[in-house]
Amino acid sequence: MKYNKAFLAAILLLLLSSCSGTNSDKVTNTEKENNQAQEEPQDKGENIIRSTNFEVKKPYIIDRNRLKYKTDEHGNFKGEYIYHNETDDTDDINISVIYEGKLKPIKTYQIAVPGHSSKKVDIDLKNVPSSDQLVYILTQTSKFDLNAEKDLKWNRNADYVAPYYFNLKSNSTKAAIKNEDNNELIKPIHTKKVSEEDKEGRLIYLSDKEGNRIEKVDQENMYISLVNAEEFKLKGYLYNFQGDHYKNFKINKSNKDSFLYEIDPQTIQTFKLELEDFSHSYVRFISTASYPKNAYKDSPFTPRKIMYSGLYVFK
């Protein structure tokens, strides 16, 4: 089955515009990607635009249009990630760098970006595992005034997640051999077919045992549901963030840094969820998922699907 060109073009535009870049004759050693995740104003009185840039120097570039980069001969890679905040308020931002297939971030950064300003973060990866590696950069707002939970601006800020990913080829023969995690699939406790209503809501959400959405965290009896509304099977990892911290959790009574799942097309899977820490007031889940190899075989890049839950507040 051939890929949907409009779908792939939209993903590529998002990634290349979210890591925003303009090439200039004056910039001889840097190619800039424009991976710009932009918010539309929701009220006329306030500019609420946020965006991100990922800048990579030419020695590390293979083909930026195909999201392909490389390390130096020592297995090291450098890029510059820039967060732009054009709101009126300071944004507290968590940036997590994750290798696909690993159960926790390899690097995390916590930055505060005042309104109408930008801040740069050096993404400096050392001793990258040999062979090709898919790297995710996940950016999210991470601290809020919980007393303003019902305010429109609070919900807008709480909802901000900007994903980016790229292929990285390690050119070092001495780089560390990748340690394969013991990632075994956990069977869901409940499975059902996707409805039209399910497609309109979050694709990751807290639920009851039958996969029905809930609004508040039930610390004693909690479940999480994952929606695959795609035409293809999805295989991915689920990560838990609380405040500005990545946190372990339990799925179906098993301790997990994150957990590996595999969902058939047009299906919702529900799992028993236990959090280990309730000291950070709120929780968000982010998932990175891949398609089968033959799903988009004609694609000029490697499509991935990033999903995230809403922000759940502990009461």
Q: How far is CA 279 from CA 27, 49, 314, in A?
A: 47, 31, 9
Domain co-membership, 111 together with 253: no
Amino acid type, 287: S
What is the spatial distance between Cα 65 and Cα 55, in angstroms, rounded to a whole number?
13
Number of structural domains in the chain: 2
In a domain? residue 43: yes
In a domain? residue 292: yes
What is the spatial distance between Cα 35 and Cα 230, in angstroms, rounded to a whole number?
24
**CATH code at 211?**
2.60.40
In a domain? residue 25: yes
Percent of the chain with pLDDT over 70: 77
**285: pLDDT confidence band, cut at 50, 70 and 90?**
very high
Q: Is the pLDDT of residue 181 over 80?
A: no
Q: How far is CA 219 from CA 4, 18, 146, 276, 282, in A?
A: 42, 36, 18, 10, 12
Domain co-membership, 230 together with 282: yes
Domain co-membership, 114 together with 209: no
**Predicted local distance difference test score (pLDDT) of residue 41:** 39
Tokens of 35: 């991976």
Helix, strand and coil percent figures for the chain, each rounded to 5: 10, 45, 45
In a domain? residue 100: yes
**Predicted local distance difference test score (pLDDT) of residue 12:** 57
Domain of residue 231: give its range. Answer: 190-313
In a domain? residue 107: yes
In a domain? residue 181: no
**CATH code at 83?**
2.60.40.10
Domain co-membership, 151 together with 208: no
Domain co-membership, 11 together with 156: yes
Domain co-membership, 26 together with 147: yes
In a domain? residue 215: yes
In this structure, of 128-137, 211-220, 262-271, the range with the lowest mean pLDDT score is 211-220
Domain co-membership, 11 together with 90: yes
In a domain? residue 178: no
What is the spatial distance between Cα 171 and Cα 163, in angstroms, rounded to a whole number?
26
Domain co-membership, 161 together with 194: no
Domain co-membership, 135 together with 199: no
Instruction: Please indicate whether residue 214 or residue 177 has the higher confidence score (pLDDT).
Output: 214
The pair phi, psi for residue 153, each rounded to 5°, is -65, -35
What is the spatial distance between Cα 170 and Cα 60, in angstroms, rounded to a whole number?
10
Instruction: Name, of 4-13, 22-31, 147-156, 251-260, the range with top average pLDDT.
Output: 251-260
Domain co-membership, 199 together with 151: no
Residue 26 neighbours by CB distance under 10 Å: 5
Tokens of 294: 């033959």
Per-residue pLDDT tens for 101-156?
A: 888 999 999 999 999 999 999 999 999 988 899 999 999 998 777 676 666 666 67
Domain co-membership, 234 together with 150: no
